[in-house]
Amino acid sequence: MAKPSKALETFPNPSPERDYAIHMQIPEFTCLCPKTGQPDFATLFLDYVPDKLCVELNSLKLYIWSFRGEGRFHEAVTNEILDRIAKATRPRFMRLTAKFFVRGGIFTTVVAEHRRKGWVPAPVVHLDSFPPESNTR
């Protein structure tokens, strides 16, 4: 039976020569309000450009699960998670967006970023629509 864990595992990036983005949506994050002890629910969005390592998904799931019984403010837990994953993977860039569900009539979204010193992203390439298909036969 799987149990929550603070350990994060990594694996070698299969294409370290290229900047590419990894996007993860984690819809079942929970922790406790440190003031009331009531549960807080959030969807986490993890986006990163790996360097030499990628985070292993099962260990990430167990790591995220480890916060269920812990009291944390939204801002603190978002930054703590980002710092820990960035420390384990040492990415070129990482962003964690935590969208917390309503509490007291307020939705809270916290966005934290990590950028490797000296890393500059490549310019965004915008592609025009492909030309319409020819109807000639």
Structural domain of 98: 20-115
Judge whether 123 lies within some domain.
no
Active-site annotation, residues: 33, 40
What is the pLDDT averaged over residues 109-119? 96
Residue 137 predicted with pLDDT over 60: no
C-alpha dist (Å) from residue 25 to 74, 79, 127, 131? 17, 17, 26, 34
- pLDDT for 80: 98
What is the distance between the alpha carbons of residues 18 and 50, in angstroms, rounded to a whole number? Answer: 9
Assessment of whether the complete model's pTM goes beyond 0.85: yes
Per-residue pLDDT at 136: 56
Structural domains in the chain (count): 1
Is residue 74 one of the residues assigned to a domain?
yes
Could you give the CA distance from residue 58 to residue 68 in angstroms, rounded to a whole number?
Answer: 16
pLDDT of residue 130: 63
- pLDDT tens string 16-54: 999 999 999 999 999 999 999 999 999 999 999 999 999
Question: Is residue 92 in a domain?
Answer: yes
